[in-house]
Chain A
Amino acid sequence: MEELFNIGINDEDLKDMLINYPDIKNLDDDEISQKINILRDIGCSDMNIRNIIEGNPNYLNRVSSNIILLIKKLEELGFKELNLLFEDNPYILDLDKYEIDNYIEDKINNGMTLSSIVDELEDNPYLFNDI
């Protein structure tokens, strides 16, 4: 848990996180570090990372390769400032790449352009909850 304290999460935050997601206590520092580094690699500051993890502690339970695939997909689609997107709605990180693919395909079939879909989701990241 040392890694979490290093990014500014305190005892009280951690207690709340464990109430909602008790599995986190089984994670070792290497796993936590790996998840933190994925966020650092996309330009997240400690503040962004703290807010993402505090907002959605389940992120720590996800499989790293799936998170990386999701991030690559979002970048490929043209999303920018992923640090802010994930900070605004940390639950986006619970999605899988295929879910994004299906959503985009549906929207395009309904006549939207890719850039308008991306704009809409960037303006209101909680629309990702429709996915």
Chain B
Amino acid sequence: MVCLFPQLLSLSINSIRKKYNNVKNFGYTDEEVLKMTTCMGGASVYGASITAVSNKLQFYNSIGIHQTIVEYSQRLIPSISRSYARYKFMTNLGEEITDNNCSRLFMGNQAFSKYYGISKEELLKMYNYEKDMEDRNGRVI
């Protein structure tokens, strides 16, 4: 974990505890959070801000892909803006995204562009996470 994310050593115990508990608050067990922590995604759990991680977990829970994050915690790394835009795009094409069928949501940028014929920049322009959340909630996230 420290090799993957050496900055972990610069965080206070309190920060680490808060970030750990933040993930647990989204319905993950201690074992699941520990599993995420020791894989690549652990860097995201402890390296990104609590707000950024919360936004991702909230979104993944809302679209029903809670468990994939435990099995492949590196899926916590991509930005919420990219995952949101891809999700909207794929579901508009009629694709069903579930815990067992979400690998394309997390493909590399080049592979995704090649498969769907759309660039990341175009996707982000089409589906703007922040704007959509503001429209939906009437406030800034």
Give the interface SS of chain B, mostly helix, strand, loop or mixed: helix
Kindly list chain B residues whose C-beta atoms are within 8 Å of the C-beta of A46.
Answer: 140
Are the CB atoms of B15 and A20 closer together than 8 Å?
yes
Residue B132, interface by CB 8 Å: no
Residue B67, interface by CB 8 Å: no
Could you tell me how many residues of chain A have their Cβ less than 8 Å away from some Cβ of chain B?
Answer: 29
CA–CA, A87 and B5, complex, Å: 16
CA–CA, A50 and B121, complex, Å: 22
**Other-chain residue from B44, B74, B81 in contact with A84 (beta carbon distance below 8 A):** B81
Kindly list chain B residues whose C-beta atoms are within 8 Å of the C-beta of A33.
Answer: none
**Would A81 and B120 be within 8 Å (CB), given that A125-B77, A126-B40 are in contact?**
yes
Residue B48, interface by CB 8 Å: yes
Min CB distance A114 to B, Å, is: 14
5 pairs, CB–CB < 8 Å, chain A vs chain B: A16-B14, A45-B130, A54-B50, A84-B81, A87-B48
Interface of A with B (CB < 8 Å)? Answer: 8, 16, 19-20, 45-47, 50-52, 54-56, 58, 80-81, 84, 87-91, 119, 122-126, 129
A-B contacts besides A20-B10, A45-B130, A129-B7, 15 pairs, CB < 8 Å:
A8-B140, A16-B18, A19-B15, A46-B140, A47-B51, A47-B140, A52-B49, A55-B48, A87-B48, A87-B52, A88-B79, A119-B109, A124-B74, A126-B44, A129-B6
